[in-house]
Amino acid sequence: MNADVRSIADLRKNICEILGLVEAVIPASDGAVLAYVPAQGNALAGDVEQGLNYVRSQHSSRVRLAPMQVTEDGLAANVVEKMLIDDVSMPTSLS
């Protein structure tokens, strides 16, 4: 998601698009990771976080948020990497 929005209308459009994608494209039995770079120095940063938390609350069992960071070397994806490692290392029950 592009979290660097310029207006509340842009944010509302992005949030509606995300909700539509989750509901229409991702099977109900699957989950999604919403990766984004938090808006830094943007007056709407708090509104962006609130909007993303709204998306998560509407699909709490299927949507996880992954705030990523921009570093000198590029995009740090360690949040997504940790989610993947945690998911793979979860114990499974064998029938």
Alpha carbon of residue 45 to chain centroid = 14
This prediction's pTM: 0.75
Pairing of strands 63-67, 74-76: unpaired
Structure tokens at 43: 């007056």
Q: What is the pLDDT of residues 56-90, one digit of tens each?
A: 999 888 899 988 888 888 888 788 888 877 777 76
pLDDT tier at 94, thresholds 50, 70, 90:
low
SS3 36: strand
Give the burial string for 7-24 (b: 16+ CB within 10 Å, else e): eeeebeebbeebbeebee
Which comes out higher in pLDDT, residue 53 or 79? Answer: 53
**Could you state, in order of their start, the residue ranges of all structural domains in the chain?**
8-88
Please give the span between the terminal C-alpha atoms of the chain, in angstroms, as a whole number: 38
Q: Any idea what DSSP says for residue 89?
A: T
3 or 30: which carries more pLDDT confidence? 30
Reading the block at residue 24, the tokens are: 């229409």
What pLDDT does residue 93 have? 61
- Residue 95: pLDDT above 60? no
pLDDT for residue 19: 92
